[in-house]
Every structure is written in structure tokens, then in C-alpha cells.
Structure 1
């Protein structure tokens, strides 16, 4: 009888993994496959969604899993649960926030997806793999420019944060998969599509359309006419002025502990699910099917990080490493 591992594919390519990997290479930030906040979070958080200073992870489903915000007090409803001895960081100066409005009709796509020269979202592809995010009503970008204080605070508290997330919150995160948000891009409405292994006859292409349909209540809504692509969308809020809470991209630090400190906190025994041991060996940048312990290896590898569950090496002089999830050089912070 063949073993279970022989019957399994070497990699399992999820919808979220396919979409995120492809748009990540466009340098706009880390794409979220599920832009909206989780419904089990406090209403105060869901109103605006992801914020600068949020500490969390991104699941293999492309969802931002929020834990707490470093700028809010433990009494704030958003910080319903915080690490032991948590002391918030003093808020940043608004003058250090970079803001940019994103024009309606904006889109982000892989080079394999070509936009037709017309006012609608009509795309052509001659290739079998690609992804696109369409923003009919534009969006907004906010990034913190002064990161020094945040960087120091994260280095001082990283050990406590991992103990809280893996202990109190029971997430069992691997080293290097905790994130501190430094910026975000949000949109009122969006449409995302991704495709892979599409069979296209030679010298032909296929069309991907995100077009408006008339709606008596909201004027226009956009819907995909997408052929073989996997696609989803969100309509604008019915009331103009509703706060943005649909986060299409995040900018963030990844937080890693020195292996020595990690071993003292969580031991050296590695417990893996069946899919971890059989599906994550190839290191080809795909998300293992039900693996939390390997869920970040595919994103870190794109920036030269480890493909072994996100673990990074550091010396005793550098107990904490902070890295940006966007393609800029790694920054190490020394702590006495």
C-alpha cells in the first residue's frame, strides 16, 4: 500500500496564495485576499479596519488576524485582550503620516494581464497565470514615515508579544510570522481575480472583464465576467462618508526572535501536521494546505528570507530582527 505522502501532491496552491504571491511582486505592499475585518472583532475595530500600530498575523486564507494595537490603552474597546504588563506607545505625530488618494479606475495587475485602452476594467491575457485587483472608486494610502520609535518599541517587546500570541491566544505561530503594521491601502470597492494553468490556444488570448451594472438603489455596481478565473468583489458602502475598512494592501514589519531566545520560550521540539511534513519541502512559494506553521514561508522567501517556516538566524547580539514585508533591505536592531 503506498504511503500517504506518496499520494499527496508536492504543493497545494490555494486561491489566496496564488493571488497574494502574484500581486506581491508588483511592490505595492502585501496584498490581503480578504480585505474586510473579521466579524468576531469589536465593533469599534470593524468600523475602520486595520490601523497603523496593529499587531497581528496573516492567515493562509489571506485574512489579517488582529491581536492588539500598540498605540491604544488596555481599556480601549479595540484592545479587548493585550499581553501581560502591556504599556502602549505614545502616539505618532500626524505630521509623520504620508497620505495619498488613489484615483477611481486604478488597478494593479501582473505583467501577464494587459488593460485595454477603454474606461472600463477590461483585461486581456496571453498567458496561463496572472492576477488583477480593480478599484472602481479608488482608495487611500496611509504610511508612517517616522519608524524609529516604533522599531525600538517592537524590539523591546517582541519576546512578550510572542509569549502572549502563542500562549494566551494559542496561535502556535512560527518565528518570523508576527507583524506590526506601518501603513495600509484601503478602498471603498474592489474586484480581485486570479488564474493559473489556464489552457490558451497558441496566438490567442482570453478576456477578463469587471464591468458596471445598473442598480436602482446604488447607481452602479461592478461584476466580473471572468471565464476561468477565480474572482470576488465588494461594493461601495450605501452611505457616502462611511469609514474605509476594506484593506487591500498592508505595509508592516515582520518580527523575529533569535533562535536561542525562541528555544527558551517554546522549546526545540517541532510538532508538524501531516501536510507540513509532506507539502512544505519544495520551498517553491506555495501555501501548504492546512499548515499554520508554514503559512508564511512563501512570502518571506520572495525577499530573501528563509523558506523554512519563516525562521531567521541572528546572533546573541541581535536578539530581535525586524524586517519590512515590502522589498526593502532587512534592518537589525541591537538590544542590550
Structure 2
């Protein structure tokens, strides 16, 4: 398992940009994301070069095919609320927002600037690349 320190450094580096297309990592049982490296970036890129375990032996970045990117710049409009367990009951002029829980637990994400979504459509290239970097085709 990757160290929490590496994930903390990754989190500090992406605070302004968010998770990027090509970020490869492991999703933990608690839902956290342990970043390993970005498949599209060179070995000496600031995101890849600080990794304590380093990059896989023989690492070469996956060539980007810009035709394969799909961007939805308005995935969530400014001021959007994203939650599956809560519903907004309204907002008052004084800035108060009221929520209603539909389950005993939940999470709420408020997006004052909104959010965009970028997908890389060439899934087979990414899968083949991951197996090639692994070397033996077993799971990471």
C-alpha cells in the first residue's frame, strides 16, 4: 500500500486543479484515493517525480490522443450541490441553507465555482498500458 505521506503531497499539489485525467491510484476501502502516478506525464514532471517508491521500471508516459478527450465544462453549474443522501429545502436571503437527510448518514459537496468533467475515451489504450507497465498482467 502506498504511504499516506505521498497521498498528502498529491492532495496539496492538486488543490487548485483537481484530480487529472491519467491519475492512476488505488481506491481504499474507506473511499480514499492513494495516488500512484499520472500515466500521461513525463517521469520528471512535478507530480510524478516526488513519488517515494518511484515509477514502474521502464516507465514511459502513455501518449495522449487529444481526439479521445471528452470535456463537459458544465458538469455541475456554479453553486451546485452534489449529494445522494440530502436534499436542499431552500435558501434564505440571509445566506442560510436548509437540508433534509434521507438517510442516517450522508455527505454534501457544495461547488461554488461548479465543476467540469473530462473523460479519456480510449479505455483499451489505458488498460493495455497498465498491463504493460505492470509487466506480468497481474493486478496492482
Give the shorter-chain TM-score range: 0.5 to 0.7
- Residue 17 of structure 2 corresponds to 48
Unaligned runs of 5+ in 1: 1-36, 164-256, 267-336
Among 98, 106, 114, which residue is 2:80 paired with?
Answer: 106
- Residue 97 of structure 2 corresponds to 121
Q: Rate the CA distance shift 1:139–1:87 in 2: closer, same or farther, 3 A.
A: same
User: Cα RMSD between the aligned structures?
Assistant: 3.4
Q: Provide the C-alpha distance between the structure 2 equivalents of 1:162 and 1:114, rounded to a whole number of angstroms.
A: 47
Which one has a bigger Cα radius of gyration?
A: 1
Shift of 1:121: 2.7
Shift of 1:160: 3.5
Among 107, 110, 124, which residue is 1:151 paired with?
Answer: 124
Q: Which residues in structure 2 correspond to 1:34-113 (within 5 Å)?
A: 38-41=7-10, 48-80=17-49, 81-93=54-66, 96-101=69-74, 102-110=76-84, 113=86
Query: What TM-score comes out, normalization by structure 2 length?
Result: 0.66
Q: Provide the C-alpha distance between the structure 1 equivalents of 2:35 and 2:97, rounded to a whole number of angstroms.
A: 32
Aligned residue for 1:40, secondary structure, equals helix
1:12-59 alpha-carbon deviations (Å, 9 max, x no partner)? xxxxxxxxxxxxxxxxxxxxxxxxx94334965555342100110122
8 Å contact from structure 1 (residues 39, 46) kept in 2 = no
1:62-88 alpha-carbon deviations (Å, 9 max, x no partner)? 322111111111122211221111111
Q: Which residues in structure 2 correspond to 1:186-201 (within 5 Å)?
A: none
Q: Rate the CA distance shift 1:105–1:157 in 2: closer, same or farther, 3 A.
A: closer
Q: Provide the C-alpha distance between the structure 2 equivalents of 1:136 and 1:41, rounded to a whole number of angstroms.
A: 21
Aligned residue for 1:56, secondary structure, equals strand
Q: Provide the C-alpha distance between the structure 1 equivalents of 2:98 and 2:57, rounded to a whole number of angstroms.
A: 51
The count of corresponding residues between Structure 1 and Structure 2 is 127
